Amino acid sequence: MIDLSFIVADTLFIASVATIIFYSYVLFVMAFSKTKAFSSTFFRTFIFTGFFDILAIVALEWTRADYLLGFGHQFELGTRLMMAFTGTNFLIHVFGEVLMTLNRYTAACKPMIHQKLWEKVRMKYLYFASVVLSFVAYTEWFLTKCVYEHTVDGWKLIGREEQTLNLILLTAITCPVNLMQSLYDLSVAFNLRNPVVLWIQSQTATSTSWFESSHGFGDEDSAPNYHL
C-alpha cells in the first residue's frame, strides 16, 4: 500500500502558505488603504488580530514539521517558542474577536457613547493588554522544555520535561475551543446541518446577530449622532 502521508503534509503546507500570502495581501490593502472605513477601530482591530493569525499559522507549521521530521535538541528552543505562540496567538485572536463584536454592538445600540468608548489611545492599551495577558497565560509553555527521544528514524518529540496542572488545563481548554471554532467555520462554509453543528452555531448566535445588525456602520463616524 502506498504511503500518501507526505502528499497530505505537502498539501497542508501549500494551503498554509497560500493562506499566509492571501491573508497578508488583505491586511496590506486594509492597512494602507485611503478608504475611510478601513481607518475605523473595527478594521484596525481586524488588522491587529490578523497579524497574530499569520504568526499562528507559521507557528503551527513549524510545530507540525517538528512532529514529522524531528528537529531534535538543537532546535528545542525554537519548537518550544512556536508551540507557545500557537496558544498566545489564539488568545489574542479571541480577544480581537470580542473587541470587534463589542465595537459593532456599540455602533448599532450605543451610538451616543460609541466614539468615546473606542478612542485610539484606549485601543492601544487594550491591544497591549491582550498581548501581555496572552503571554502571561502561557508562561509555562515558554519555560517548560520539550523532550526528544532518539529513534532509528531520528529524533522524536515525546512531550515536556514536566506536566504541571496549569499546562494540562491550558492544553485541555485550547484544543476543544480550537476544534469548536474550526467546526463552526466549516459549517458556515459548507452549510453543514447536524445537532452538534447546530449547538456550536447557537453559541455564537448572539455575537453574529450583533455584527449583522450593525453591518451598515462601516466606520466610526457612521454611527448616528444623537443629541439629548
Residue 212 CA to residue 105 CA, distance in Å, equals 9
pLDDT in tens, 59-114: 988 888 888 777 877 888 888 899 889 888 988 988 888 888 888 888 888 888 88
pLDDT in tens, 152-179: 777 787 777 776 666 666 666 666 666 6
The per-residue pLDDT for 212 is 43
Helix, strand, coil percentages in the chain from 3-state DSSP, rounded to 5: 75, 5, 20
Look at residue 202 and tell me if it is in a domain: no
Look at residue 207 and tell me if it is in a domain: no
Look at residue 80 and tell me if it is in a domain: yes
Per-residue pLDDT band for 216 (boundaries 50, 70, 90) equals very low
Look at residue 200 and tell me if it is in a domain: no
**Does the global pTM surpass 0.75?**
no
Look at residue 143 and tell me if it is in a domain: yes
CA quadruple 50, 56, 58, 64: dihedral sign: negative
Count of the separate structural domains present in the chain: 1
- Structural domain for 143, as ranges: 4-195
Closest CA to 147 of 59, 88, 83: 83
Q: Any idea what the CATH number is for the domain that residue 30 is in?
A: 1.20.1070.10
